[in-house]
Chains A and B, each alone.
Chain A
Amino acid sequence: MKRARSWILGGVLLLAAGALTAVTPGDDAVIGPLVLRGAVGEAVQSRSLIATATDATFTDEVAVPASDWSAAGNWLVVKVTASAPTTEADAAIQLAALVIGDRVFHSSERVATTLKGAPLRVGTDTEGMLAFELPPDVVAGTAELRLTTSYYTAELDDLIAISLALDDLPRVPTLDIQAPAWSTP
């Protein structure tokens, strides 16, 4: 009898340990970002960033008007208006990524005049562009634009996520990437 009770108690403890393991959140849930979702044209505010994606366009070539630089490819250019909610210290979009399915594309650093890294102001909007160089097959589906002031994927911090329907976007032969500038209402 005593032997059977020990086996039952052992089994119960084993089940309890299994259940506890099952309900314990994984690493992603524990240190993952707090995702703040929005749509195109909608201002989304995080701890350190206010951003609105106002427009998105496919283009076969991006060019920088201030220089002779241009590059052909399958580019997606997103126009973003951004500002800092409370402080201008370290206020800049340092990581802009486009998530399409299980693929993640970072905004191109080949284009010198994008909004990435541009200093943002408190109470004054800055308008600029983010350019993503995509594989030729990426022309449709749903994408998510992720923005953060962190240099790395945000952990335990806000992450702005704006949904883009790629099927609806226009395509132009060439697009000038304008340098960030203060936008006026």
Chain B
Amino acid sequence: MSWWRRQRTALIALAAAAVAMVAVTVWLDILPSARPTDRVIEADTSVDIAGQTLTLGATEWGEFEAPSGSRTLSVRLSSSGGFDASLCGRSTLTEPDSSHTWISSRSGLEVSSDDGESSCTVETDAYRILLVFLLPDDVDGPFRLDIEGSDDDLARFDIDP
């Protein structure tokens, strides 16, 4: 009787233990940390996201007062609104050349709420959105504008202000 045959019970148990270890590692360690990838919707000027249609409008440098060494970049969008309109996640501006990412934020800037919503919102009628980014003076773009929608959708516009 060969060694393999004599040890077959132990070998089967060892193989079963190895499979169980891999399965438990995947189940408890790998799957919980895996984040579902957003579905990126590349857009020229318009995109359907969060139950509404967003249309990219004008961009403007330096519309709002910024600290020395920085300037603001305003990005305007119009939304169709709609009965299914829902809130969006954060809007980010990325410079692909440097991989630097800025988040739209009005904190510290004197931006009036009359200028537009700070993100897409629950609204049945058409409305305006104003995103404001604070960028260093030496950053010129081009940029990638990402707007997180609902259901893991991500609207992406290319911007070259």
Contacts and interface: CB of A to CB of B under 8 A. Distances in A.
Nearest to A118: B107
B101 A182 contact: no
A103 B130 CA distance: 48
Interface stretch (A52-60, A81-89, A136-144, A155-163): A81-89
Interface stretch (B14-22, B45-53, B118-126, B133-141): B133-141
A150 interface: no
B103 A124 contact: no
B108 A86 contact: no
A129 B67 CA distance: 19
Interface string B134-152: 1110010000000000000
Nearest to A121: B134
Interface residues of A, number: 14
Nearest to B70: A124
Contacts of A119: 103, 105, 107
B8 interface: no
A86 B107 contact: no
Contacts of A122: 100-102, 136
Contact of B101 (A89, A181, A184, A185): A89
Given A89-B92, A121-B134, A124-B67, A182 B108 contact: yes
Given A89-B101, A119-B107, A123-B100, 8 more contacts: A86-B99, A86-B100, A119-B105, A122-B101, A123-B135, A182-B70, A184-B67, A185-B68
The 8 closest A-B CB pairs, nearest first, are A123-B136, A184-B68, A87-B101, A182-B67, A88-B103, A124-B70, A184-B67, A122-B100
